Chain A
């Protein structure tokens, strides 16, 4: 231990000890992001069953529906992965990701020991994948690439703690939702974070 470490430790503890922490009650739950998974599932069902009216394009296209559409091209890749959707302006997340926040998200994903690789999927990529799906060609006249959400697809190592990583990603600013595609493909219940 060199002197500067000793001085630093003493300074930090002195500053911390000078803090008199006032009692405050445990805060009440914040309004969650409106049961996002339920909305995604409902919208996905609408899309899948063709109930989304092609003649009436909603303005703006609801974010839950956009996520649902984006999810239809997400398939179980056979290896664990998560899809981190960035928010869209006007969506349920108050503030959208700034460039710094995107970089921070990328750094977090790339730097995480459980992550093998990270790929960015643009709105155009998401739109292309959605339109290419069987039965979705008719949506090409109604939807625009700008309606879709951008996302990062993180391929995980087999021993990675997927729920922990998904929750960490969901906590990052500008993230709208994090989805476990294998869970969606298996139609299990709780596939969305937070």
Chain B
């Protein structure tokens, strides 16, 4: 029997019956292939970035999943780049933080709680540093995470945060000058 494009792949089984195996993969659009590759190669790093911005892993994973769910179907190849996805993760994290700010603090929020195991792994002095970082204004905190976790340049930070490179540079400088005060006030 002649095989047509789009038909299920067929082959003959031992008893001569036609056995349906699977549908041939349709041509995957280029942007979907790019998205799949980005997800495969960079999802762990993006989740870690979101953890550093949000404080808890569950929400961080949800933010990254949500970003990729939204990125399907962007029509043109070359649109979804790593800096673009990082910007989306940054925006998603900001939305979560805004929503958290509206939640009444009757109980500890998930982002406030770090597991005992994580605390031991990180060590006390580093925990104090992360707590000081968390007290910085949102934009300063983001700039420091991008610089000192991802090692991005001013230009790259500016691209991810959608600000000017000079603003990125001055934001980092202000954050670094404020950090010792945040550390000192809480030791």
CB-CB contacts of A74-107 with B at 8 A, as 1s and 0s? 0000000000000000000000001011001000
From the candidates A4, A7, A27, A163, name the one contacting B76 in the complex (CB within 8 A): A163
A102 to chain B, nearest CB (A): 13
- Complex Cα spacing A30 to B43, Å: 18
B139 to chain A, nearest CB (A): 9
Q: Is there contact, CB below 8 Å, between A11 and B130? A: yes
Contact B51 A15 (CB under 8 A): yes
Chain B 44-56 interface mask (CB, 8 Å, partner A; 1/0): 1001100110000
A11's contact among B95, B122, B163, B167, by CB below 8 Å, is which? B122
Known A-B contacts A18-B122, A26-B35; the reply to A163 vs B79 at CB < 8 A is: yes
- A34 CB–B CB distance under 8 Å: no
Say what secondary structure dominates the interface of chain B.
helix
Chain A residue contacts of B44, Cβ below 8 A: 21
B10 contacts the other chain (CB 8 A):
no
Going nearest first, the 8 A-B pairs with the smallest beta carbon separation are: A29-B72, A11-B126, A11-B129, A27-B69, A16-B48, A12-B149, A21-B44, A30-B69
Q: Decide: A8 and B148 in contact? CB cutoff 8 A.
A: yes
Given contacts A30-B70, A108-B162, A111-B162, contact A19 B91 (CB under 8 A): no
Contact pattern, B 129-173, Cβ under 8 Å of A = 1, otherwise 0: 110010000000000110011000000001000111001000000
B162 with A14: CB separation less than 8 A: no
Complex: chain A residue closest to B117, CB-CB: A18
User: Quick check: is A32 within 8 A (CB to CB) of the other chain?
Assistant: yes
Q: Is the CB of B180 within 8 A of A9?
A: no
The range of chain B's interface size is: 35 or more
Whether the Cβ atoms of B149 and A111 lie closer than 8 Å is no
Contacts of B70 in A (CB 8 A): 30, 171, 194
Q: Give chain A interface residues in 1-55, CB to chain B under 8 Å.
A: 2, 4-5, 7-19, 21-22, 24, 26-30, 32
B162 engages A112 (CB within 8 Å): yes
Chain B interfacial positions (CB closer than 8 Å to A): 35-36, 39, 43-44, 47-48, 51-52, 57, 60-61, 65-66, 68-70, 72-76, 79, 84, 87-88, 91, 94-95, 98, 118, 121-123, 125-127, 129-130, 133, 144-145, 148-149, 158, 162-164, 167, 176, 179-180, 183
* Beta-carbon contact of A27 and B48 below 8 Å: no
Whole-angstrom distance between the alpha carbons of A76 and B170 in the complex? 37
Interface size on A, residues (CB 8 A): 42
Provide the residues of chain A in CB contact with B72, threshold 8 Å: 28-30
Identify whether the interface residues of A are mostly helix, strand, loop, or mixed: helix
CA distance A137 to B72 in the complex (A): 42
List 15 other contacts, CB 8 Å, given A4-B180, A194-B74: A4-B183, A5-B148, A7-B126, A12-B133, A16-B51, A18-B122, A22-B61, A24-B61, A26-B39, A30-B72, A100-B98, A113-B158, A164-B79, A167-B79, A171-B87
Contact A12 B121 (CB under 8 A): no
